[in-house]
Amino acid sequence: MELNLQGKVIIVTGGASGIGEAIVREAAKEGAIPVIVNRSTDRGMQLSNELKNAGHECLYVQADLSKEDQCRRVIEETIQALGKIHVLINNAGINDKISLETGNPEAFMRSLQNNLLHYFALAHYALPYLKQTKGNIINISSKTAVTGQGGSSAYIAAKGAQLSLTREWAVELLPFGIRVNAVLPAEVLTPMYQKWLEEFDDPDQKIKEITRKIPLENRMTTVEEIAYTVLFLASDRASHTTGQYLFPDGGYTHLDRAISNP
């Protein structure tokens, strides 16, 4: 299926690693122009140079998205360099494990600043340009927003808010033909996930415990599979899809665990 993404400017936050990197790479393969937004200059420049050397057009913007003025600058630099915005993919974030018991209100608010503010700020500053292109917004949330996780109150609060904003913006932006959807990854073997696994005495055994509970093929979801779902939503092939939550997770969130291999 042709996604018709050629020449489309697609902003991807956290775009130099994990799920964000996969989205950037697949967008470039589709002929889109990914804007890689990342805090780490080294990773961002490395990916940007790699794509350019392979003949793809892209833009790298270094930014600390916990700061509102840098969110505004991301949009300004994108417009200065490329002149338009077709898709905003809010993806950047980190599970800082601020829990109800061991955290405190100050840490909770700081976590929201890191994980939620930029979803709103980037959408706010990109909105005039998305109106011009009848573009769309995709919020990357997490299955933990609907299941809970334990020990991650602030992160889960941000992820749940991202889902609520998805529905709110889908309603608010109907008059402009701007679609807004969310994708909720579950068990995806990103570098951040791998780091979490290494906290266990036997990471290999831990991943076996997890994958045997994933109904479809008893395996992790790949970053590419998340990217394919995101880019379908970004494309005009999903032209009548808005306000939706998609779970590319092998049935992990919703199917009865009893059907998985013991």
Residues taking part in catalysis? 155
- The whole-angstrom separation of Cα 124 and Cα 119 is 9
Can you read off the two tokens belonging to residue 115? 């994980």
Segments in 116-256 forming alpha helices (H)? 117-133, 144-147, 153-172, 191-197, 203-211, 223-234
- Supply φ then ψ for residue 59, to 5 degrees: -140, 140
Question: What is the Cα–Cα distance from 151 to 148, expressed in whole angstroms?
Answer: 9
In one letter, which amino acid is 56? H
Contact 35, 62 (CB under 8 A): no
Residues with Cβ < 8 Å from 171, sequence gap 6 or more? Answer: 243
* Backbone Cα Rg of the chain: 18
The one-character DSSP state at 37 is E
